[in-house]
Structure 1
Amino acid sequence: MDPRRRPPHLLIDPALPEPISSVLRASPQALRAARLGRFPRRRGPDPVKVIAIAGLLLLMASLSATGGFIAALVLISFSALRGLSDDPENRRERRRVRVAMEHRDRFILPEDLDNDCGDLLRRTQDATESVLASEINRVRLLDTIDNAVTLPDQTWQIARKLVRLSEMKAEHARLVPGAPPPEVAEAFTPYVRALETAELSLTRRVRALEEYARQVRKADGVYRAYQQLQVLAERTPQYEALVAETAEDALTLPGLEHLTEQAQQVRRLFHESIDEARDAARHLLTSAES
């Protein structure tokens, strides 16, 4: 694998309840074990601890010959041995694998995709995270779509289709491992084109999401500049006083007299960038529906 290529990270169906998602997210090893159908065995008691406890109990029994005390020792030893065989970490891991097996279709691992599809999913995740982390999203200036709900759902839908595409490409490679004879090659063409068409369609959806993220980043930068200008506008009298106190009457500071006009221009640019981001979002939704 190209060292510059970043694989996608674990993806969990956003529709799953949070308690289940937390269990799945806690142990990727359990998810891989579930994918391979490997259920952890229940661990037996530690022989060293068993021998130590048994020796201690025998010593205590030798110091007292009363029947009641011996019976109590039997109960204590049974409970101790049972506790030794009940490894908490093993129990937690078995529970995680059991939950993963019950929801095996509700998570996607990096190895579920081939390299090309993995790249597309990583690009999808990067774009989604970029939008959700933006300041204009946090202050809810992007009201065209509910990003917190729509984008994770779209990421999941794209990922499911990428997994399906990876599986069919792998199956096609097994069925047709090499180039078919020239006289029958044309008969295989529709199947190859079907895979290429599906990949092209998913690539376009990813690009639409990336364009939305690009517009959001652009609007984010203008929004921060607009906020900075608002703070400076409130301090304009201080800047003017500084110039009056330190410069000769004949000197002026270019631009101060145009601060209001410039702030209005930035405000217009900010609203234009927000509109462009919203247009990109509408295009994204249209692409998802088609």
Structure 2
Amino acid sequence: MGVVVDPAVRLEDATTLRANAPLLSRIKAGWVPPAEVVPARRRSPSSALLLAATPVVIALMAVLLASRYAAAGFVLLGTYVFIVLIKIASMSEVPEDDRPHERAVYEKARLYEGRYLLPEDFDEEAAAVLARAQRAIGTVLRSHVNAEGLLDGARNGVMLPAQEWEIARLLAKLSALRMEHRELLARGIAPEVAQVIEPLERALAGSEAAVVARVEALERYAGHVAEAERAYHARSQIEELRARLPRYEELLAESGADKLSVPEIDRLAQDADALERTLRRSVKSAHEAFRHLES
């Protein structure tokens, strides 16, 4: 389970948030990236030292070239030029403490605070329920029957992400309240408080049951879609076989075995008709389950 993002968040920003779960966790814990520094305005100590040494190197090189140690002068010149070239190349690199990516993620995290949820926002029970919802939604959105328009693909693409976000949001709130409740119980409860605790626990259990009911409705919908998906693929395979039948019939006729083919061919046609009815029935059931999700 990764980052869950409000579907109203702009797609590009939502993609950035989903791709940076560890960084968002650090930001949530209070980490702030260093402010960006323009590299061109920075001058490291090595740059200043290199600049200060230039007159000395030039003077020494002139003395060496005018003496019998001219070869050493050329070596000094080559070494110095090499060092200067390396330094020029390094000046174009962004320093390690300049992290524009981290800063960009930090700004988006601040901009969309409260509109995304991290894995640590869910306790173990809530994470399991959310995973069930996400599996059901994935079954529908990744299906061929949805892509082929046998379901209402446009409404699925809008409503199902909204369902995922609403379920995740409720589960995160439930997880936070459950954690607070457990911490309270761990400290010990006075007898006078026990009467208040019981209805609070019933409220937590009732809220969880309501969210689970939503997830079960999604799972029923996904089950109908999975049945339609199986019928869709089987029907496609049957149709492919039916398209090949003339070649088989021709072979059987030429070999004198055509009297053996009639029952099998008839059965193939019957299977195709049965799968067509199954597909229509499955799609109809999926549509009815979808309408139940909207209520």
- TM-score range normalised by the length of the shorter chain: 0.7 to 0.9
Matched with 1:19 is 12
Aligned with residue 143 of structure 2, among 134, 139, 155: 134
CA contact (8 A) 1:33 1:97 kept: no
**Residue 10 of structure 1 pairs with residue 32 of structure 2:** no
**Residue 52 of structure 1 pairs with residue 46 of structure 2:** yes
Aligned with residue 201 of structure 2, among 192, 203, 228: 192
In structure 1, C-alpha distance between the alignment counterparts of 2:94 and 2:153, rounded to whole Å = 56
Aligned letter for 1:175? L
Aligned with residue 157 of structure 1, among 127, 141, 166: 166
In structure 1, C-alpha distance between the alignment counterparts of 2:170 and 2:202, rounded to whole Å = 17
Matched with 1:256 is 265
In structure 2, C-alpha distance between the alignment counterparts of 1:29 and 1:143, rounded to whole Å = 36
CA drift at 1:196: 0.3
**Residue 40 of structure 1 pairs with residue 49 of structure 2:** no
In structure 2, C-alpha distance between the alignment counterparts of 1:285 and 1:147, rounded to whole Å = 11
Q: Relative to structure 2, which stretch is displaced further, 89-98 or 118-127?
A: 89-98
Relative distance call for 1:84 and 1:59 in structure 2 (3 A) is farther
Matched length:
263
Percent identical among aligned pairs is 35
Relative distance call for 1:251 and 1:135 in structure 2 (3 A) is closer
Aligned with residue 281 of structure 2, among 242, 264, 272: 272
Aligned letter for 1:285? E
Aligned letter for 1:23? T
Relative distance call for 1:243 and 1:83 in structure 2 (3 A) is closer
Secondary structure of the 2:150 match is coil
In structure 2, C-alpha distance between the alignment counterparts of 1:43 and 1:80, rounded to whole Å = 21
Q: Relative to structure 2, which stretch is displaced further, 25-34 or 191-200?
A: 25-34
**Residue 177 of structure 1 pairs with residue 186 of structure 2:** yes
TM-score of the aligned structures, taking structure 1 as reference length: 0.79
Matched with 2:62 is none
Secondary structure of the 1:140 match is coil
- Runs of 5+ consecutive residues of structure 1 not aligned to the other structure: 1-7, 66-78
- Runs of 5+ consecutive residues of structure 2 not aligned to the other structure: 60-87
1:105-144 equivalences under 5 Å are: 105-143=114-152
Matched with 1:100 is 109
- CA-to-aligned-CA distance 1:164-194 (integer Å, 9 cap, x gap): 1111111111223277577874442211111
Q: Relative to structure 2, which stretch is displaced further, 172-181 or 151-160?
A: 172-181
Relative distance call for 1:145 and 1:200 in structure 2 (3 A) is farther
CA drift at 1:23: 3.0
CA contact (8 A) 2:6 2:116 kept: yes
CA drift at 1:225: 1.0
CA drift at 1:83: 7.2
- CA-to-aligned-CA distance 1:110-152 (integer Å, 9 cap, x gap): 1001000011111111111121111111111102861111111
In structure 2, C-alpha distance between the alignment counterparts of 1:261 and 1:229, rounded to whole Å = 10
CA contact (8 A) 1:222 1:270 kept: yes
In structure 2, C-alpha distance between the alignment counterparts of 1:18 and 1:151, rounded to whole Å = 16
- CA-to-aligned-CA distance 1:190-247 (integer Å, 9 cap, x gap): 1111100000111111111111112111111100111121222222222222333345
The alignment's C-alpha RMSD in Å is 3.1
Aligned letter for 2:24? L
In structure 2, C-alpha distance between the alignment counterparts of 1:17 and 1:195, rounded to whole Å = 33
Bigger fraction of residues in helix: 2
1:232-243 equivalences under 5 Å are: 232-243=241-252
Relative distance call for 1:249 and 1:214 in structure 2 (3 A) is closer
Matched with 1:167 is 176
